[in-house]
Structure 1
Amino acid sequence: MTAHLLIGPVLRRVDGDRATLWLETSEATQARVEVDGAGSGSTHTFSAYGHHYAIVTVDGLAPGSANPYRLFLDDRQVWPEEDSEYPPPVIRTRAADDHDQPVNLLFGSCRKGTPEASGRWLPPDALDAYARRLMADPQARPDLLMLLGDQVYADETSARIRRFLKRRRRNGHDGPETQVVSFDEYTKLYLESWRDPEVRWLFSTVPSVMIFDDHELIDDWNTSASWRADMAREPWWRERIASGLASYWIYQHLGNLSPDELAADPLFQKVKTVDDATELMRDFGRSVDEPESAENTDVPYQWSFSLDLGRTRLVVLDNRCNRVLTPGARAMLPAAEWNWFLDRAHGDYDHLVVGSSLPWLMPPAIHYLEAWNERIAESPRARTAAFGERLRRAFDLEHWASFGKSFAALGELFRRLGEGAQRTGDQRVGAGQAYPAPASISVLSGDVHHSYVARADFGPAVTTPVYQLTCSPIHNEVPLPLRPLMRVAWWPGVVQAVRGLARTAHVHKPALRWKKLAGPYFGNAVSTLELSGRVASARIEGTTKEGELFDVAAVSYHA
């Protein structure tokens, strides 16, 4: 049978003279990429759950070039499509010595794939708007697109998906009527979202990395240990979590890995060599959902990843799957993964960019509320702890502030980096190594369905500016009644009142202060971060009713 291109190609990593492209096809096939002028690569698809995928590594790209490419399935060109009205897809490489070359990152989170969602019509998609603008000026393409969570919504589905699920449930497939459970059901989410024409073109010509948040699995995923215990009692949950993590690994995580990392990933190597990887993926999905604890700090699978672009280091953190949920020892990352992060946070670079799906710096009143809630949820009094747990789950009190030790540790890391302090003699860094303070530290986040810019204040000893850049949603919206709450959570009087409540639970004042510089903005938006020399410049753009982009906020900072 003739294989057709279902999704893709999705351009993922471009590293030196190599690039990776991900795709899904209707049948098993040979996929080949030819780059005009130089570079090519080919591979056979692998199969799981009756679906077919490939990730093609292209070798031999010329440094500092931008060349169109073509994708073939069994020697038949399928991309770009015949008579396409869009500009040709291009693979652009950075210069061989790119230390003086600016880095431009496009980022955002929370994108529903259709205008209709949960019975309401959403404002225009900011990623569509950005793609249309880039089509008019393809030379302005960014170095990287960072999607920071909720790329698909397994628990808030469109009318089309709900009709599909209703038929499935009538035919005996167990699960909630409006939520996906099986791997095949997950594939429909990606097919619906990633075949959006403008986004499909954008994915084919701009490299991208991605990290999950909760809605790829279910709202409030891994909020607490009691949440996990309750979910484990649902008859459909085991398949839901295994299918969700397996589909995320295939559709999103594989593309986060460089060609060398793909070659070193034992699961990927096994998947490529078997005729049917269904059982491998099912076992993997179940095994990587093992709960973390203070005693068991092994990481079943590390979803966090890192890469360098010129003089910029990007570290993207898993805020969901590998959380430690043990009361009294809660942590956003287990010890082994935190140590990996420390290794990557120290080094010879100018700018540190940390991708965190959940904002590190929330509106201060919300921060104190979450810190207070964590304390009472861990009270030795059973009734008080139960009350705290109910509040935690009812109001989504699960950001960095509700993992207080992790919040403080991240701040301490940034303080030490900003002072130029190094872990001299630490074996993880190397004995005697010392690095200067970076020119900037930027935390890029989403999740909260509004956008804002905040600056951290560590005192005069820290010369490096530390910024929280939050951009959410790309295509969703926050309910109108919640918007005033997001605004007043920055007001000094409200902050002082909630801080007083936190003091009743012996919550200490954080070792840093932070101030909002822009926002909150509640419309759909995308953001860019440009890092040039020692200067960082951030820009948030919203969408008009007509689907055009307009400036919401802009800031510039440097040491």
Structure 2
Amino acid sequence: MPPGARAPEQPPRLLLGPLLRYVDADSATVWVETDRPCLATLHAGGRQAVERTWSVHGHHYALLVLTGLPEAAVLPYEVRLDGVRAWPAPDQEFAPSVIRTIRHDERLRLAFGSCRRSAGHDAEALRRFGADALVALAGQMATAPHEQWPDALFLAGDQIYADDPSPELTARLKAAHRGTGARDADRWDADTDHDGGRREVRGEVHDFEEYTWLYQESWSQPAVRWLLSTVPSCMILDDHDLRDDWNTSCAWRERMERQPWWRDRVTGAFASYWVYQHLGNLSPRELAEDEVLAVMHTTDDDATRTRVLDEFAWRTDAEPDTARWSYVRDLGGRGLGIRLVVVDSRCSRRLDPDARAMVDDAEWAWVLEHALTPPGGERIGHLLLGTTLPAFLPAGIHHLEGWSEAVASHRAWGPVAAWLAERLRRAIDLEHWAAFRASFDQLVDLLRRAVEAPQPPSSILLLSGDIHSSYTARVRLRDVRHPGTAVHQLTMSPFRNPMHRAVRLAHQVIEWPPVSRTWRGLARLAGVADAPVAWRLEHGPWFTNGIMTLSIDGIRATVEMDRAEVRHGRQELTRLGVAPLAP
């Protein structure tokens, strides 16, 4: 280069993505994060979508909405930034990413699971955390025809671990805060909670910027990046997106709100969730109606956009009706629809000890409307209820959680027992639907209303994760005939975060029949009535990393259960079994 000559400016780069998010019969959305402001263009099927990136907190994003696509098509696509192709990448090892628009032939393959720790893929990380189910799924897809791919991917919570990041990210966090006064590295290491218990903020993220590091680490692994670029994904947040045991109880909430770091943490969590996860759950029509997204598109100033988003994020926690994180997707079928209703079971909780609810009244009314009302007047052939936390747990844990709620609320055995029950609830995560009995009963009533409808669905399938064990359970409503509707709890967890051996042992002890019966008796003594529903585990529990794939063909439904494991240095899926669900 001649002396004094300027080096040619490099074109904009994709920092993250593309993520293929919402897809229906004729439209698709693709999300990207770029390294600078630019014009992003999506090309597929002779159509294009163009959007100038918008920024918050100095980060640049675009959500490209492509419409007018042909139904049941397989369309390779590319992303250009300022006219230069950024995806597919020149060094990409996988096949070109494609958009597959929905078929209306009453068939669906939906892969799902939850709880994925970001960790390396070297020998030590594979020994400690096991194989990554999403990496293994991508490897399986790479050599399979499109017909065998999942049509969609449901990430049922804990996509990131804000309170327990990887060792590499923990080191980065510590280095970033060294010498920053009140949050320098030495003091940061020493913070403890007000009860003298485990550390509150050591090795945890605090704000929007640090949340972006989590997403970058989680979604940039090459196989996972390709998987998310070519399989439509829908997501929902759970506790580790913010903090373990988030909204477990009123006592937990009051203690957290006293922490000096709480506001930054909450604001960063919800603002980043809106950008990285929530927007992609929405249809093009819903995106057009989103008031915060409208501000992103119509405001030129990063500081103003950031302020608007941060204020919105803080309000969503303080006033849960500010935003609805629950959503619905219709996944195909003409005349026999397949509807996925994803329920937010974290943000809209009611924690008053005398009126606890997993989902508040407004949110539950929305759930009922979308679970019981057929789309476009068509029959719901299969109703899928996505809830991060399983409703139908193994029996011993179910009764333990019912007992803990009754005792911790002071209704049963007095203040001393209440204090002990609250400590136990936090220590071993007693926070599922069984620990919110009023909401559990509402859910059972929803199932009853669905199966007693004039045209009941062929199946009602609850898709959950969270508990770091996996199983299927058949559910039967007492005093209700539903031979035409199969009801199952399908729980798949983790993608990659195996349960510690001590916790696994405790789980097995609780489910030992004499212990399980003891907790049932204690729950009855505490005033917890038996539920008007029965269920039994049919497959599992398993305690390994893996993934489940729901396969629907007309009125029939089956579930494929796969374990992720390392074989000959490769991360692969091994079939554990295939179970019929309906009819």
Q: TM-score range by the shorter chain?
A: over 0.9
Aligned pairs for 1:330-409 within 5 A: 330-346=356-372, 347=374, 348-379=379-410, 381-409=414-442
Partner of 2:117: 112
SS class of match (1:279): helix
Q: What is the alpha-carbon distance in structure 1 between the residues aligned to residue 319 and residue 295 of structure 2?
A: 25
Aligned residues: 535
For residues 307-348 of structure 1, the C-alpha deviation after alignment (integer angstroms, 9 at most, x for no partner) is 111210100011111111111211111111100110111122
Partner of 2:349: 323
Aligned pairs for 1:132-171 within 5 A: 132-139=139-146, 140-171=148-179
Please state how far the C-alpha of 1:365 moved relative to its aligned partner: 0.6
> In the superposition, relative to structure 1, how do residues 134 and 323 fare at CA in structure 2: closer, same or farther (>3 Å)?
same
Q: What is the alpha-carbon distance in structure 2 between the residues aligned to residue 83 and residue 461 of structure 1?
A: 57
Partner of 2:42: 33
SS class of match (2:380): coil
Partner of 2:576: 552
1:436 is aligned to 2:455: yes
Matching residue within 339, 343, 349 for 1:313: 339
Amino acid at match of 1:309: L
Maintained 8 Å contact 2:389/2:432: yes
> In the superposition, relative to structure 1, how do residues 384 and 118 fare at CA in structure 2: closer, same or farther (>3 Å)?
farther
Aligned pairs for 1:185-200 within 5 A: 185-200=210-225
Maintained 8 Å contact 2:383/2:457: yes
Partner of 2:27: 18
1:518 is aligned to 2:539: yes
Q: Which moved more, 1:155-164 or 1:180-189?
A: 155-164
Partner of 1:462: 482
> In the superposition, relative to structure 1, how do residues 18 and 291 fare at CA in structure 2: closer, same or farther (>3 Å)?
closer
SS class of match (1:324): coil
Partner of 2:527: 506
Q: What is the alpha-carbon distance in structure 2 between the residues aligned to residue 486 and residue 42 of structure 1?
A: 51
Identity in percent: 43
Please state how far the C-alpha of 1:553 moved relative to its aligned partner: 3.0
Partner of 1:296: none
Please state how far the C-alpha of 1:555 moved relative to its aligned partner: 1.2
Maintained 8 Å contact 1:319/1:333: yes
Q: What is the alpha-carbon distance in structure 1 between the residues aligned to residue 125 and residue 402 of structure 2?
A: 32
SS class of match (1:82): coil
Maintained 8 Å contact 2:113/2:154: yes
Please state how far the C-alpha of 1:384 moved relative to its aligned partner: 2.9
Q: What is the alpha-carbon distance in structure 2 between the residues aligned to residue 525 and residue 155 of structure 1?
A: 23
Q: What is the alpha-carbon distance in structure 2 between the residues aligned to residue 221 and residue 556 of structure 1?
A: 35
Partner of 2:267: 242
1:284 is aligned to 2:312: yes
Per residue, is there more helix in 1 or in 2?
2
SS class of match (2:278): helix
Partner of 1:300: 322
RMSD across aligned positions (CA): 1.7
Partner of 2:285: 260
Please state how far the C-alpha of 1:103 moved relative to its aligned partner: 1.1
> In the superposition, relative to structure 1, how do residues 239 and 191 fare at CA in structure 2: closer, same or farther (>3 Å)?
same
Q: What is the alpha-carbon distance in structure 2 between the residues aligned to residue 94 and residue 246 of structure 1?
A: 30
Q: What is the alpha-carbon distance in structure 1 between the residues aligned to residue 445 and residue 351 of structure 2?
A: 22
Q: What is the alpha-carbon distance in structure 1 between the residues aligned to residue 72 and residue 319 of structure 2?
A: 45
Partner of 2:469: 450
Q: What is the alpha-carbon distance in structure 2 between the residues aligned to residue 364 and residue 199 of structure 1?
A: 35
Maintained 8 Å contact 1:291/1:324: no
Please state how far the C-alpha of 1:498 moved relative to its aligned partner: 1.1
Please state how far the C-alpha of 1:493 moved relative to its aligned partner: 2.9
Partner of 1:126: 133
Please state how far the C-alpha of 1:69 moved relative to its aligned partner: 0.6
Amino acid at match of 2:466: D
Please state how far the C-alpha of 1:491 moved relative to its aligned partner: 4.1
Give the TM-score taking structure 1 as reference length: 0.93
Partner of 1:430: none
Maintained 8 Å contact 2:546/2:562: yes
Partner of 2:226: 201
Maintained 8 Å contact 1:317/1:356: yes
Give the TM-score taking structure 2 as reference length: 0.89
Partner of 1:485: 506
Partner of 1:428: none
Please state how far the C-alpha of 1:85 moved relative to its aligned partner: 2.3
Q: What is the alpha-carbon distance in structure 2 between the residues aligned to residue 157 and residue 138 of structure 1?
A: 35
Q: Which moved more, 1:374-383 or 1:280-289?
A: 374-383
Please state how far the C-alpha of 1:300 moved relative to its aligned partner: 2.0
Q: 5+ residue gaps in structure 1?
A: 293-298, 421-434
SS class of match (1:307): strand
For residues 177-230 of structure 1, the C-alpha deviation after alignment (integer angstroms, 9 at most, x for no partner) is 410001111100010110010000001100000001111101111111111111
Q: What is the alpha-carbon distance in structure 2 between the residues aligned to residue 126 and residue 138 of structure 1?
A: 19
For residues 502-538 of structure 1, the C-alpha deviation after alignment (integer angstroms, 9 at most, x for no partner) is 1110111111111000001111001100111111111
SS class of match (1:24): strand
Please state how far the C-alpha of 1:234 moved relative to its aligned partner: 0.9
Partner of 2:195: none
Q: What is the alpha-carbon distance in structure 2 between the residues aligned to residue 200 and residue 232 of structure 1?
A: 36
Amino acid at match of 1:393: R
Please state how far the C-alpha of 1:16 moved relative to its aligned partner: 2.2
Partner of 2:198: none
Maintained 8 Å contact 1:115/1:124: no
Maintained 8 Å contact 1:87/1:138: no
Maintained 8 Å contact 1:118/1:159: no
Partner of 2:447: 414
Maintained 8 Å contact 1:110/1:474: yes
Maintained 8 Å contact 1:124/1:543: yes
> In the superposition, relative to structure 1, how do residues 291 and 399 fare at CA in structure 2: closer, same or farther (>3 Å)?
farther
Aligned pairs for 1:68-83 within 5 A: 68-83=76-91
> In the superposition, relative to structure 1, how do residues 29 and 197 fare at CA in structure 2: closer, same or farther (>3 Å)?
same
Please state how far the C-alpha of 1:263 moved relative to its aligned partner: 0.3
Q: What is the alpha-carbon distance in structure 2 between the residues aligned to residue 38 and residue 361 of structure 1?
A: 47
1:88 is aligned to 2:112: no
Maintained 8 Å contact 2:43/2:49: yes
SS class of match (2:240): coil
